[in-house]
Amino acid sequence: MRYLSAGESHGQKLTVILDGYPAGVYIDPSFVQKELIRRKVGYGRGLRMQIEDDKVNFTSGIRFSETTGAPITMEIENKDFKNWIDVMSPFAKYSENRAIYRPRPGHADLAGMIKYERKDIRDILERASARETALKVAVGSLSKILLAYFNIKIYSVVWEIGGKGIDWKEGLKKILNKKEDIEKLHNFAEKNDLRMPLRNRKEVYNAIDMAKKNGDSLGGVFSVVVKGVPIGLGSHIQYDKRLDSKLSSNLMSIPAIKAVSIGGGVFSSELSGKNFQDAIYLDKKGVYRKTNFSGGIEGGISNGEDIIVTCFMKPIPTLLTPLPSLNFKTCKAEDAVYERSDVTAVPACSVVAEAVAAFTIADAFTDKFGKDTITELKRNYTGYKKMLAKLWKKFI
């Protein structure tokens, strides 16, 4: 599967075309809408989320609530566009109103302006904005619907925001050692606006409030876990077929994600082989592991264990008290520009990462079991499970 997105942060709308999605899948638009609402929630989010309703409009690829196999087009209108028509309409009369000449450190502003030879940085920041992640969530929602046919589910939890919350190393180790139930943690986290499986969250709220007061921003750490992934997705044959490579690449495409760890990758240099590698065992249900430091992927191929990825989000580069920069109109040193932004968006980012992981797994799943119809997928997957069952019986 693949998708191509378009649209600017304050443009008329966001558009995405998803290609390669199997025919015959029933689509519930309310589920997609629910996922988009999850992306909007989070303590520390800015006023933009109060403006946008992120209502998705399907314009192709679905008839009578069922996918046809044709490309699926989804659109999300930008409600705020009405306030930007004079400078964001494609053929508006040229104006320097709201033009930007002072790049923000940490954003695409400076590099993008030079790369594309633009005078007004707005030409860069409008597309580089994290507003585009609404489309990632829309695509990921359809991916989740497809994966649900095969009992593959995606969960996430936020460990830390600004260094406050749950020590991410300790939280992750409990999952890797199978001492915590990710589904239970996820369900608890869904009930609060930090998406943390933590009862006393006062310290985190205080940190966000303090950052807002100081004109600062905060990053954080979260993990995404995919349960029910069968053995055999991805490949060791070529670099671009490795499942861990695809997951890392796709998750790094989320704005503000600066590092991605698979399984216990962050601990791999600290442990010996005996303590890091996951020993193989067999029971009547098949192969299993008592630990999961490999994060469900070995040699670029899923091994039947939960897929576990941890993402590290940097503080948002748009600051209410801007850092030193340059003014490319006056050619003088000045502070960077301030654009309306969040104090932190870690909770929202964890939802976006779920969607990206869902798309990546769905792509690998259809690559192995068929891309044309849901019937073909079910038939091939059923046959594959029967083959595995026969293999395990040889050892019992």
* Contact criterion met (CB below 8 Å) for 154 and 224: yes
The SS3 of residue 217 is coil
Q: What is the pLDDT of residue 255?
A: 92
* Contact criterion met (CB below 8 Å) for 7 and 13: yes
Does 120 reside within a domain?
A: yes
Structural domain of residue 343, as residue ranges? 2-387
* Contact criterion met (CB below 8 Å) for 105 and 336: yes
Q: What is the pLDDT of residue 298?
A: 97
Calculate ∠ Cα 227-358-182, nearest 5°: 35
CB count in 10 Å sphere of residue 371: 18
* pLDDT by residue, tens only, the chain of 396 residues: 999 999 999 999 999 999 999 999 999 999 999 999 999 989 988 776 778 889 999 999 999 999 999 999 999 999 999 999 999 999 999 988 899 999 999 999 999 999 999 999 999 999 999 999 999 999 999 999 999 999 999 999 999 999 999 999 999 999 999 999 999 999 999 999 999 999 999 999 999 999 999 999 999 999 999 999 999 999 999 999 999 999 999 999 999 999 999 999 999 999 999 999 999 999 888 889 999 999 999 999 999 999 999 999 999 988 889 999 999 999 999 999 988 789 999 999 999 999 999 999 999 999 999 999 999 999 999 999 999 999 998 887
Cα 192 to Cα 197: distance, rounded to the nearest angstrom: 9
* Contact criterion met (CB below 8 Å) for 296 and 229: yes
Place of tokens 């040193």: 333
User: What's the Rg (C-alpha) of the chain?
Assistant: 22
Six token digits for residue 190: 């869904």
Does 249 reside within a domain?
A: yes
Q: What is the pLDDT of residue 341?
A: 80
Q: What is the pLDDT of residue 340?
A: 75
User: What is the pTM (predicted TM-score) of this model?
Assistant: 0.95
Give the model confidence (pLDDT) of 187-238 as tens digits: 999 999 999 999 999 999 999 999 999 999 999 999 999 999 999 999 999 9
Element (H, E) at 174: helix 168-176
Six token digits for residue 60: 């192709």
Does 198 reside within a domain?
A: yes
Task: Output the domain CATH number for residue 122.
Answer: 3.60.150.10
Does 64 reside within a domain?
A: yes
Does 125 reside within a domain?
A: yes
Does 394 reside within a domain?
A: no
Tally of structural domains, the chain:
1
Does 395 reside within a domain?
A: no
Write the DSSP symbol of residue 365. H
